Structure 1
Amino acid sequence: MEKWTVFGLSALACLISFHSEASSKRYVASPTESKWEMAVNTPLECRLVHPIPHYGDAEFTSHASKKINLDFELKMRLPMGATRDVSLISMPPSWRPGDTADRISNLKFFKQFDGYVGGQTAWGILSELEKGRYPTFSYLGWESRNQRVEVALSSVLFQHQYDVFSQCISKLLPYSFEDIAFTILHYDRTSVQLNKASQKRLAQIAEYIRYNKDIDLVLVSTYTDSTDTKAVSQDLSEKRADVLRNYFQSLGLSEDRIQVHAYGKRRPIADNASPIGKDQNRRVVISLGRTQV
């Protein structure tokens, strides 16, 4: 993001002042209006929402993933009509007038998009709220060039819901849909059950499916090595496919959302002349599809 000239803190304090100014339009929840709500609290997603009267909503979101993540969006009722440089300032509440303003970051909000902040800066906004301060976004209004828009997040009643939000993040699954959408698992020689390592991976897929109601297709394709005859291999492949079909049905998926294909010894991906190659060919490929939102 582009940098802009940094004003002195005293100038910023005046710029983002909570006192009435004809040249600025301020949006902030009063202490009696301020509320924070957990809109989503699942092992797949945590979402903390703060309504800003007459402006929109501030939303913090974290998703199941291999890495801890945090996104912040300033959802506007009226989308930005022009791209704007934005100063993000941590302001003291009005009942702490002796405190100074601190600059958090410089951002850009893009035309026709909600204001987005990610990564360390998003965590920084949470940290300032936890201190009882008011993170404030300030930018030149696109409707009137002479008017500055100031949007503040109130820290009133923040702490309790922040504790709930933090607990939710600690319980997020350590993998995302993308991590399990395409998975190759393996079998021992003649078993219809997956080997131990693959069973653990299958359990992760199952856990994700239990919480995600948007999974609308599970595609299962089973294969064997070339040790047995075509008929024996095909029979084994079909049995493996049936086991997995029943498994996914036990998770609550309807039969029409599960497609299984048994290919037997066809379509090897490795040389069946070696033990390692045979291990690789004794496999099932599981692909997940979900409703796009």
Structure 2
Amino acid sequence: MTMSVCQFMFRKLAGLAGAVLSGGFALPALASSYGAGIENSQWYLSESVFECSLVHSVPGYGRAVFSHRAGENLSFFLESETSMMRPGRGQLVVEAPAWRPGVAPRAIGAVTVSDNRRAVILGNREATLVAQGLLQGMRPTVTRVAWYDDRPIRVHLSNVNFSGPYSGYRECVTGLLPVNYDQIRRSRVPFASGSTSLSDADRQLLDNIVTYVVADSTVERVFVDGHSDSVGSRIDNRALSEERANVVADYLRSRGMQEDLLIVRAQGDQFPVSRRHADNRRTTIRLQRQGERPDLQQASGPGTDFSG
């Protein structure tokens, strides 16, 4: 006698239940999902000439941040006070929110999940794809297994109220400084043997330093130290290093650097950084902010470049 559809389904379900009770089959763990809903989704723009950022609160998890520092590209990170995802390889997809059924998800690729406070950090390409997904009304989602068990953790970003702050972010980016503090806090101008001439690349570097220092009122000292190689007499080398330091300092002044910030010193050949003579023919520029511990004013050993 032919088995009815109802009888077949009943037997299949009974068999499945028996397997679960006997320990022969495990149901997949349910995912824990974190993200803002329509009623509480907000994006906040923070803007300055130093950095433009978009911050989004992810309830139950932490926050998501698009960050664009001066002199760098757009980046993105997920931040949480507690480690919720197990370190390892996670997945990033751009999927449709619940109110847009039928739209296929788009995989961006694997992401590295760490046990740091910033568990997920994305570079410019991935961050741009995430932003584009939000602008298209999609929901970027990071999935990774939980720290303490095998259930998946899903952290998703809401596109609600994103487009307005993103427009402000794009406008903010146009006003960013050409460099940030980390990029120019220690800079180096190289010189050819016996030369005190600045190249176009040197002038561009010094222009960027002046632009930054003028904008950052927390910079309280700019150390300019001239150096030479050890070829020739020590007296001549000291004179040459002084001229190199003055060439750089004079250019900084001519571009608007305040005189009271500058500390100009000639070091001669006493602080080599390399056995290669070319590496030692230089002027170094070091910026010091308020509250930063000044570097030691004595060289700690051979090859130490304390000044820059």
TM-score, normalization by structure 2: 0.63
Whether the 8 Å contact between 1:80 and 1:110 is mirrored in structure 2 is no
Larger radius of gyration: 2
The CA deviation string for residues 16-62 of structure 1, in whole angstroms up to 9 with x for no partner, is xxxxx9812111111121111113x2233221111111210101112
Query: Which residue in the other structure is 2:143 paired with?
Result: 138
d(CA) in 2 for partners of 1:149, 1:261:
57
d(CA) in 1 for partners of 2:112, 2:227:
51
Identify if the C-alpha distance between structure 1 residues 252 and 31 changes in structure 2 by more than 3 Å, giving closer, same or farther: farther
**Secondary structure of 1:260's partner?**
strand
Percentage of identical aligned residues: 24
The root-mean-square deviation of aligned C-alpha atoms, in Å, is 4.3
* 2:53 paired with 1:47: yes
Query: Which residue in the other structure is 1:220 paired with?
Result: 224
Deviates more, 1:124-133 or 1:135-144: 135-144
Identify if the C-alpha distance between structure 1 residues 36 and 81 changes in structure 2 by more than 3 Å, giving closer, same or farther: closer
Identify if the C-alpha distance between structure 1 residues 240 and 36 changes in structure 2 by more than 3 Å, giving closer, same or farther: same
**Secondary structure of 1:78's partner?**
coil
Whether the 8 Å contact between 2:85 and 2:113 is mirrored in structure 1 is no
Query: Which residue in the other structure is 1:287 paired with?
Result: 286
Q: Among 17, 24, 31, which residue is 1:24 paired with?
A: 31
Equivalent residues, number: 246
Whether the 8 Å contact between 2:222 and 2:288 is mirrored in structure 1 is yes
d(CA) in 2 for partners of 1:81, 1:200:
44
* 2:121 paired with 1:116: yes
Letter in 1 for 2:285: I
d(CA) in 2 for partners of 1:289, 1:162:
34
d(CA) in 2 for partners of 1:142, 1:195:
55
The CA deviation string for residues 184-236 of structure 1, in whole angstroms up to 9 with x for no partner, is 289xxxxxxx9795665433211111333554541123589x9xx99xx69x9
* 2:42 paired with 1:35: yes
Whether the 8 Å contact between 1:82 and 1:112 is mirrored in structure 2 is no
Aligned pairs for 1:11-160 (under 5 A) are: 23-39=30-46, 41-65=47-71, 69-80=73-84, 82-113=86-117, 114-145=119-150, 147-160=151-164
**Secondary structure of 1:207's partner?**
helix
TM-score, normalization by structure 1: 0.66
Identify if the C-alpha distance between structure 1 residues 99 and 106 changes in structure 2 by more than 3 Å, giving closer, same or farther: same
d(CA) in 2 for partners of 1:90, 1:203:
42
Query: Which residue in the other structure is 2:178 paired with?
Result: 174
Identify if the C-alpha distance between structure 1 residues 117 and 154 changes in structure 2 by more than 3 Å, giving closer, same or farther: same
* Residue 284 of structure 1: how far off its partner (Å): 5.2
**Secondary structure of 1:58's partner?**
strand
Please, which runs of 5 or more residues in structure 2 have no aligned partner? 1-27, 192-196, 271-280, 294-308
**Secondary structure of 1:166's partner?**
helix
Whether the 8 Å contact between 2:93 and 2:107 is mirrored in structure 1 is yes
**Secondary structure of 1:89's partner?**
strand
Whether the 8 Å contact between 1:80 and 1:112 is mirrored in structure 2 is no
The CA deviation string for residues 152-204 of structure 1, in whole angstroms up to 9 with x for no partner, is 10000100111111222233333344553313289xxxxxxx97956654332
Identify if the C-alpha distance between structure 1 residues 164 and 253 changes in structure 2 by more than 3 Å, giving closer, same or farther: farther
d(CA) in 1 for partners of 2:216, 2:85:
35
Moved over 6 A (4+): none
With a CA cutoff of 8 Å and minimum separation of 6, indicate the structure with the bigger relative contact order.
1
Whether the 8 Å contact between 1:37 and 1:50 is mirrored in structure 2 is yes
d(CA) in 1 for partners of 2:93, 2:39:
23
d(CA) in 1 for partners of 2:56, 2:86:
24
**Secondary structure of 2:32's partner?**
strand
d(CA) in 1 for partners of 2:159, 2:92:
15
**Secondary structure of 1:287's partner?**
strand
d(CA) in 1 for partners of 2:264, 2:259:
13
d(CA) in 2 for partners of 1:75, 1:35:
16
* Residue 247 of structure 1: how far off its partner (Å): 4.3
